[in-house]
Amino acid sequence: MSGLATPFLHHTLPAPLVLASGIWGTTVSLLERAAAAGCGAVTAKSCGPVPRPGHVNPSCLDWGHGLINAIGLANPGVDAEVELLTQARRQLASLGVPLIASIFAGAAPEFGEVAAKVVAAQPDLIEVNISCPNVGSEFGEPFAANPESAAAVTRHVKEAVVDAGIPVIVKLAPNVPSVARIALAVVEAGADALCAVNTMPGLVIDAASGQAILANRSGGLSGPALKPIALKCVYDVYRACPGVPIIGTGGVTTGVDAIEMVMAGATAVGVGSAIYYRGAEAIRTILDEMACWLDQHDMADLAEIRGLAHREPLYAATPTGAPIPHAR
């Protein structure tokens, strides 16, 4: 699958699919499994300043059009995570698959403190989850909702890793007035790449009891229902930040889904809930479907279709709504 090799910053990923954070945790065997299954890079589960037990069950549900989860950022804390990341990095390096460490915190300076500790594990990249609430904010607003807050987090992380030279990916949220503004703010603050997007907040109610199904009540939507939202976010970010690598994430369950994400402007494509729907073999299956699509359309590689959705449309609408071909 040479046509699927993907340049990403200073790496050449053996495949364009990136395991999303939290799907298979940070156990070394499971991250290795994702790499062996065909992922071009794998993202470990997010870690924070201190251990968190997460939310009690029920914490995840297939609601018919996707998944909704409120795991609650369960993690052993950064000190314990560093040991796991160090082992995972060693094993993945032998497979030629980069490791992405994921971090979160409750205050901007705290992000820098967590990043400084994660550096000890020498991950290939660090992903910054800015969708968590800002405990220093008057209203507990997520960092991802405000350009200034998002930029502040990015600067703290960049300062913490500058000597190590580890690139920083900022993971954006979809539920903001302008994801492009947030993207531009974090890039100007030093982000090397972007991940678009995280889950979308939602609520599912059990009509029989009149109660929210998740123990936390609300949760994050992923899976097929998220795909159009994720595509729009990737599209907007690509336009706002030309040349900045993007991991397009959200609702990718088939090879065609991944192709569409690349057409919107994604450099690489995140996969998560696809593993729930199609099993552990989902990664290899999606890659096969992508390769088949390229072959059927006489395309040599993904570079030929990246950002294709940004070209002028082949058809324009008439006043009556009927499409007519553009004059050539």
Catalytic residues: 132
Is the separation of the CB atoms in 236 and 179 below 8 Å?
yes
Contacts of 225 (CB under 8 A, 6+ apart): 65, 66, 251
For residues 18 and 98, give the distance between their C-alpha atoms in angstroms, rounded to a whole number. 10
| Three-point CA angle 175, 275, 103, nearest 5° | 50
| CA–CA gap between residue 75 and residue 205 (Å, rounded) | 27
CA-CA-CA-CA dihedral for 8, 13, 17, 18, to nearest 10: -70
Angle at 262 between CA 28 and CA 259, to 5 degrees: 90
**First CA to last CA across the chain, in angstroms?**
35
Q: Would you call 105 helix, strand, or coil by DSSP?
A: coil
SS3 track for 236-295: HHHHHCCCCCEEEECCCCCHHHHHHHHHHCCCEEEECCHHHHHCCCHHHHHHHHHHHHHH
Residue 328 makes CB contacts below 8 A (sequence gap 6+) with none
Q: What is d(CA 303, CA 91) in angstroms, rounded to the nearest whole number?
A: 30
Rounded Cα distance between 224 and 284, Å, is 19
Residue 124: closest CA among 16, 31, 216, 43: 43
